[in-house]
Structure 1
Amino acid sequence: MFEWIADPAAWAALITLTAMEIVLGIDNVVFIAVLVSRLPAAQRERARRIGLSLALIFRIALLTILAWLIGLTEPVITILGKALSWRDIILAAGGLFLIYKAVHEIHDEIEQNGTSGGSEGLVGASFSFIIFQIIIIDLVFSIDSIVTAIGMAEDIEIMVLAVIIAVAIMYAASGPVSRFIADHPTTKMLALAFLLLIGVALVADGAGFHIPRGYIYFAMAFAAGVEMINVVVHNKRRRRAALQENGLPDRPA
């Protein structure tokens, strides 16, 4: 069962697969971070924990039915001369859901209709609905992640271990990401733009037009870097203004 431990090629496959799972998990982390930011502070950690736990469960469950997953890549329907598989249909549907969700959230932010609390009944319903949305997108990202991983490793143990490591890193990163988005409202709009971009990429993949993820993640990293600079500059200006209001020097003499 663990013969692969002594095989250097298996370790190389584990490292490569783990790195790929982490990269593919970025989309999952951003989506969960945006959704939980709409919950009261007391509910966010619980929702984040549930979302990432479901991501792990879905991925491991899908690994146990690899034969079925491989069958998802077989064409099942032809539309306008284009043969589509169940994987294509699932990715396109998930992409459309992401586009709808991102556009809806952007509109809500612009119109200032977002709420962060309310009565217990409303909070409970909101929490349940957010978990439901996380389940949907977890399933879409899990299928994309595992189907992409098939062929990179021969042993199921390597795949399961790579998924566990990747989700553990996702869990560690999701907390700071969620808190940063909650503390800096402007970054939420950037995160929503990321989700819109990812949704378009998923729809394109489902339609057979693959957009290399490297381009998308580079654009996301560049935009995030610019936003980090804006946040630092804004904080410095706010701190300087506070010092001036109190009659204190900007820098110690």
Structure 2
Amino acid sequence: MKAVILAGGYGTRLSEETDLVPKPLVEIGGRPILWHVMKLYAAANITDFVICAGYKASMIKHYFASYFLEINDIEIRTATREINYLTPKSLDDWTVKIIDTGLDTMTGGRIKRVAPYLDGTFCLTYGDGVADLDIAKVIEFHRSHGRLATVTTVPSPGRFGILDMGSNDAVLRFHEKPDAEMGWINGGFFVLEPSVVDYIEADETIWERQPLERLAADGQLMAYRHSGFWKAMDTLRDRRDLEELWANGSAPWRL
């Protein structure tokens, strides 16, 4: 199974960092937030990634291209251009496709652009959010209900979109960022069938609007409730909070 990661946005609310690097490469504990997200999937034995890049896509490509180089001490022989790794550390056994899905493409459009690289049920998430979530259990839940889409939901902090859910956890309605409402929100970890791409029209389609709203209306969107730790790195304050948790050795998502 593949994990698709949306990593192409401008990250304007974190401009203190994203003027220099794309948001997924902003570091927590010396590692990009993107790496932390990928570790969550690797814990569920999902190691085949499709990264939907856009803003500063070349920097994400360079990070993975030089991944082994960065984590080891090295000796370089300039005359022969030979590089010896002095402290060879074991690497994560990942396959990483980095696809430039366009600078201004919306989230739905990015998913549609990478559809040729998908060959079955797949996971989808954002490159800036972590949780103490058991991805394997979300996949098991998805397979149990037979619908096209599963969204992991988390308790609303009061500033995100709301999902109306029935007694059997079927999503009855999905509505984004309403005023003065509380409830369960899109936690950003999805399990999807390939045909959800048919709900996406073009580059301008925002995944969190028409596609999810239509899937809910068609009875094809189910919710996996997660009441544990969850945090999206939207602002500099969010980054500092995550950094503090990691530095203190108390990061709930740490594996």
Fold match by TM threshold 0.5: no
Q: TM-score, normalised by structure 2?
A: 0.23
Higher relative contact order (CA 8 A, sep 6+): 1
- Rg bigger for which structure? 1
Q: Which has the higher helix share?
A: 1
